[in-house]
Chain A
Amino acid sequence: MQKLISWIDQRFPLIETWEYHMSKYYAPKNFNFWYYFGSLAIVVLVIQIVTGIFLTMHYKPDTHLAFASVEFIMRDVNFGWLIRYMHSVGASFFFITVYLHMFRGLMYGSYRGPRELLWIIGVVIFIALMAEAFMGYLLPWGDMSYWGAQVIISLFDAIPYIGHGLSTWIRGDFVVSDATLNRFFAFHVIAVPLVLVVLVFVHLVALHAVGSNNPDGIEIKKNKGPDGIPLDGVPFHPYYTIGKDLFGVVVFLMVYSAVVFWGPSLHGVFLEKDNFIPANILQTPPDIKPLWYFTPFYSILRATTSDLKPILGAFFGVVGAFSVFYSRGNVKRIVSVCVIVAVLILGLYGLPAKVWGVILMAAALLVLFFLPWLDKSPVKSIRYRGWIYKLALALFVISFVIMGYLGMKKPNATDLFWFQNKPWAQFFTLIYFSFFFFMPFYTRWDKTKPVPERVTK
């Protein structure tokens, strides 16, 4: 064994790689519950790839055969139902783990320097995952698959001048059709998974270069012992691999298996009722809605109607006023802020509300890229921040969850209290964006606590 390893090591940096990424990668010793979700996301990625390979063996990307081939998997393939449910439930669990992983980053300031690029790669992974899920949802060729794809692709129509051509180019046809199904299959099983795997690898390379953040937001590399090892670090392997993450994986698998075996459609939240009807070009489902992981963004899209325009205008104005106030007389900055606000307000009256819906939905994702530079707080972790950031983060999470709920409901029904769903969605859309756009100001006002030298328990 030793001989074999040295034979390999002369030809490939085996020991070096193992030590760099595992046995001599020092991770902070104070990781808590929230630090399980990174490794869990990798576990789900593996589950999705393995079950996906087996599904591909029986699935047929053809509008005449797709629905029947999924039913064939569910009924006639040995344990096909299990593989399919693992994959469909896995998709939802992928988003659960990724959302919790991102929330962890928001709480402990993991996006702050020197981890800006790590965060940006993560956001790209998140967007790639959304593309992967969206295209995968078309494949069963159920009625909701069909109409969901139809509605989301038609959003590109809203882009002025090139929109119509662009959406036709994406579909490969004037409506969602066999051409669309085939290309989505290609993207879902080859292109996007490859991108995802590479991005996850790059995400880990970036993580291991800068080192992990921790619940205290302290750089453990600043306190090294005489041997050059961080005093607050423990080797990733075995302390986190089989020491902690294995335990986390088993707990995760229990929750995941409970859903797979006892409620794989989760009352229509993980598998929608209308998707058990084959795609029918003549029969639109009563409510077209995406699966739960897209509904917060879908809510933003639907909330943007012409009555939101004046409020949006006021919102831009207030953000602009704050920016001018905090520019400390920097003329260049004041002029650029005024120009940007003027262009936005002109755009509000020049472009239809539908276009603004698409812009806001895209902005809700793209704003994540700027997070490292929006946060002006001297501390990273929520543990040492004041009440303003805590309140802002709480409101942000509440708005995200409630918009997720409202996105599954009809806009003109009343599922909360006092108002219909649409005004609520509009209100929470503003809260969502306020979290980001006012961040440079409220993080400055916030009173922070002194950060200790060493990590705490």
Chain B
Amino acid sequence: MPTDVVMPQMGESIAEGTVIRWMKKVGDKVERDEPMFEISTDKVDAEIPAPASGILTEILAAEGATVAVNSVVARLSGEGEASAPAAGPPAAATSAASSPAAKPAEPGPVPTADESGAESPQAGANAAMASDVAQEASGVSPSDSTPVAKTPAPAPKTAAPVPAAAAEKPQPDTAATSGGAKASADVTSLDERRRTKSSPLVRKIANENDIDITNISGSGISGRVTKKDILDYMEAPRAAEQEHAQQPSIAPGSSPAVSPVSFKAGENVRIEPMSVMRKRIAHHMIVSKQTSAHVTTLFEVDFTKIDKLRKRYKEHYAERGAKLTYLPFIVQALVTGLREYPILNSSIDGESIVYRKDLNIGIAVALDWGLIVPVVKNADEKNILGLARTINDLGERARTKKLSPDEVQGGTFTITNPGIYGGLFGTPIINQPQVAILGVGGVKKRAVVIETDEGDAIVVRSMCYLALTFDHRIIDGALADQFMAKVKATIEKGQFTL
């Protein structure tokens, strides 16, 4: 039995995935659960294991191809059938690839109005003429004198059919002539086909303009994208920018008006297409900038207590398999602040504010090929050890592309670490649809003045700048600073649940 290998559903909101790399080629023997290919989706990159053992007989989605979830991307033959398909598939693949696309007929120019108008004076059909027509006709009743315009309407026929009703049953014309053909293997519903296939014309326009019609909202039957829909879509400015808008709660953003510069590849200029991940990061960043009213507040925080705690517990944690960094402490301090100021943990939906009980803290992880934000779920339910383990684990799996889609979704607040390479601080961009993000600067020993009962003193302290970027649409500066003051106090007092 051949097995279809499909593009997996990597999370609920994900509709498509891009094949990045095939690790097997046609003819290769594949073991069940052995990585077959690598994909990139809106949320994660992942290696996809083989659903069954067998010979890879056919690759249907080439590297770089973006296909809908559940589309067949490859076929495996059963183990017993190894000999037959081994010879066949490569030939089949070649012929499919080289089959030329049929060229549509191009009708000539449309005749002008003048031409047709000149030779046909418009006849007034409803010119009610004395109808002596057929008066002398041997077989025709002379009684009729109704001009065309007054032709009586047929009594029993109803007006225009309701589209929904029409959608449920085949058109009468086609039912009579092609009813038999409908029993084919095609299992997608009529509604689904209308949405995805639209019409020959729309498909052609979409192809020529490299448009994915599933990104267009259709006004036709079953939500079908009509000719007008796709033409409007193409005319609408910024349409392309909205193409990948994922979160419905994000107000659609427009791309900044940058006058296009044309670059030419040459000796000193190399042009590389963006990766899927890069395109998505680019898109998310722009959308965020256009969505939120970004403001950044900066706090100088004394990390000396954390330093001490780290020193004291480092080995103890290492024994239990966890690397103790600053991050678990920061996360716990944030949780304390978020509990007191829940609006920092909210989202905006239109004109409403959505508060969430879950405190899911996303942590930006820099990768060689981009950036990903795994989420520490219910961070408030974990002690420092639990947080340390979770953060280590997520970071490790982010670097090895082993994250599941669920692990990068559902964040309510994000932390990013611009200080990792010695930066003093950074002003991060909010991770939509959240409303705030904390940028952690580098922790550095500085001479600071402290006030004691015995008088002021200059001492050496581990200092860090924490920058909070918040959405001023719903968070005012005073509130943001109160939140940060709470975080700062928690850190400086070393009030952690270890």
Asked if chains A and B come from one complex, the reply is no
Q: A: which residues have CB within 8 A of B?
A: none
